[in-house]
Amino acid sequence: MPRWLFAVLVLAVLQVLLWVFARSLRFMLGGKRRRWLTAAVFVAGDGLTLAALSRLVPGLFIAQAWLIALLWLWFLAAAAGFVPYWLGKRFAPQRAATALRVWLPAAFAALFAWGFFNANSTVVRHYMVALDKPMAQPLRIGVASDLHLDSGFFFGARELDRLAAIFAAEQVDVILLPGDVINDRPDAFYAEGMAAHLRALQAPLGVFATLGNHEFYGDAEENAQALRNAGVQVLRDAVAVVADRVVIAGRDDDTHADRPPLAVLLQQTRRDLPVLVLDHRPTEIVENVQTPMDIQFSGHTHNGQVFPANFIVRALYRLHYGHEAIDGKEIFVSSGYGFWGVPLRLGSRSEVLIVDVTGRAD
C-alpha cells in the first residue's frame, strides 16, 4: 500500500474516532449541548496530527500514536455499550443513561489495563523442528524480535534484564534478534546505558541480529554499531558459520532496496549444516523457501499489536504470525518481544520463541 494512501486512511479513521469521542464526552457531561466541545476536540486532535506529520517537533509522532490508541480504546468501549444503552433507554432512559456514563470510563480503563498487561507479560512459546540433516546434537534457539529499544520508561534496561533471564532459564544455545532491536535512533540506547543490559544476553554460540525497518529509519550503520558495541554480531546481508554447527544468514530489511536476493547470499553456503535465516519482514517467504535455507525467523508484524490490525497484517503477508512449514522449509513470524509507540496489545501478546532443532543421527 502506498504511504500516501495509508496516511489518508489513518486520517479518515481519526475523524471518526474524534467524532465518537466528542459525542460521548458531551453525553458524559450532560446538560447543555456544548457544541464548542466538538470543535475543540477536532482542533486539538487534528492539530496534533498535522504537527506530528510535519516532524518539526521531536516526539509528537509518538504522541499522535498515543492519541489514536486511546481514542480507539474509547471507541471500543462506546461501541460495546451502545446497543445495551439503545435497548435500555426505550424502557428506562434515565437508568440507561446513568449506566452508560459508568460503563464508558470503566470499560476504557479495563481495555487499557488488558492491553498493558498483554504488552508487558511475555509468553514463552516452544516449538520443535526436525530437519532431514545429520546433527551431532540438538540445537536450542532463542528468538526475540522487535524490541524497539527507545526511552526506557516503558521499554529498556529492565526489559532487557528480563529477556536475559528468560534465555538463561531456557538454556538456549544461540540467541537471534531478527530486526527492530533499536527504535530509529540509538540516542536513548546510549543515554540510558542499555548496552550493558543487552550484553547480558548470553548464549554459548553467541547473539546474532539483523536490521529491521526501524534501524533504517535512522542511520542503519550507526544503529548496527550500537548493537556491536553491546556484543551482538550484526549480519548485514552476511552469512556466518558458527562453531561448525549451524549457518546463520542475516538480511538487511527490504527498506534497503539494493540488498541481494537470499538465493545469491546463500550460493556458497554449507548445506550439510542447518541454515537459519533472519529476515525482518516476512515479505519474501515465497522466494526464500526456494533457497537452501532450512528455517526463517521474521518479525515486523507484531501480529497487528492492537485489534483489528491483526486482520490487516493477515491480509498483507503469506504468513503474518506463527509457524508454518512451507515447501519443506520452516517459517516463523513472531509478534515480537517489545512494542511500537504505545505499551498496548489487544489481540496480540509479547512473546519469546524457543525452537528446538533436531536432525538425523547418522
- For 97-115, write each residue's pLDDT tens digit: 888 999 999 999 999 999 9
- Tell me if 317 sits within 8 A of 333, measured CB to CB: yes
Burial per residue of 123-132, b for 16 or more beta-carbon CB atoms within 10 angstroms, e otherwise: eebebebebe
Does one domain contain both 216 and 110? no
Per-residue confidence (pLDDT) for residue 155, from 0 to 100: 86
Average pLDDT for the chain: 92
Q: Which of residues 61 and 321 earns the better pLDDT score?
A: 321
- Tell me if 120 sits within 8 A of 151, measured CB to CB: no
Mark which of 118, 143, 178 sits at the end of a domain: 118
First to last CA, the chain: 48
Instruction: Please give the share of the chain, as a percent, with pLDDT higher than 70.
Output: 97
Mark which of 101, 118, 135 sits at the end of a domain: 118
- Tell me if 177 sits within 8 A of 147, measured CB to CB: yes
User: Which residues on neighbouring strands pair with residue 355, listed in sequence order?
Assistant: 127, 141
pTM: 0.91
Does one domain contain both 132 and 271? yes
Cα 266 to Cα 313: distance, rounded to the nearest angstrom: 28
Per-residue confidence (pLDDT) for residue 104, from 0 to 100: 94
Reading across the β-sheet that carries 174-178, which strands appear in turn?
A: 123-134, 351-360, 139-143, 174-178, 207-210, 233-234
Does one domain contain both 145 and 229? yes
Q: Tell me if residue 196 falls in helix, strand or coil.
A: helix
Per-residue pLDDT for 261 more than 70?
Answer: yes
Chain segment 221-231, per-residue pLDDT in tens: 999 999 999 99
Q: Which residues contact 270 (CB under 8 A, 6 or more apart)?
A: 241, 247
Does one domain contain both 129 and 78? no
Domain carrying residue 331? 123-360
Cα 327 to Cα 184: distance, rounded to the nearest angstrom: 35
Q: Residue 187 corresponds to which cell in the numbers above?
A: 540516542
Per-residue confidence (pLDDT) for residue 50, from 0 to 100: 84
Does one domain contain both 75 and 218? no
Mean pLDDT throughout 273-277? 97
Count: domains in the chain: 2
Per-residue pLDDT for 1 more than 60?
Answer: no
Does one domain contain both 82 and 98? yes
Does one domain contain both 100 and 220? no
State the helix-helix crossing angle for 3-29 and 93-120, rounded to 10 degrees.
140
Does one domain contain both 92 and 207? no
Chain segment 137-177, per-residue pLDDT in tens: 999 999 999 999 986 667 899 999 999 999 999 999 999 99
Does one domain contain both 205 and 98? no
Does one domain contain both 256 and 297? yes
Surface-to-core class of residue 148, CB atoms within 10 Å of its CB (0-12 exposed, 13-18 middle, 19+ buried): buried
- Tell me if 249 sits within 8 A of 262, measured CB to CB: yes
Domain of 220: which CATH number? 3.60.21.10
Does one domain contain both 287 and 259? yes
**185, 191, 197, 202: CA torsion to nearest 10:** 50
Pairing of strands 322-326, 329-333: antiparallel
Confidence tier at 32 by pLDDT (50, 70, 90): low
Mark which of 67, 84, 118 sits at the end of a domain: 118
Confidence tier at 304 by pLDDT (50, 70, 90): very high
Does one domain contain both 252 and 130? yes
Confidence tier at 29 by pLDDT (50, 70, 90): confident
Q: Which residues contact 346 (CB under 8 A, 6 or more apart)?
A: 111, 114, 115, 118, 305, 306, 307
User: Which residues on neighbouring strands pair with residue 177, listed in sequence order?
Assistant: 209
Confidence tier at 237 by pLDDT (50, 70, 90): very high
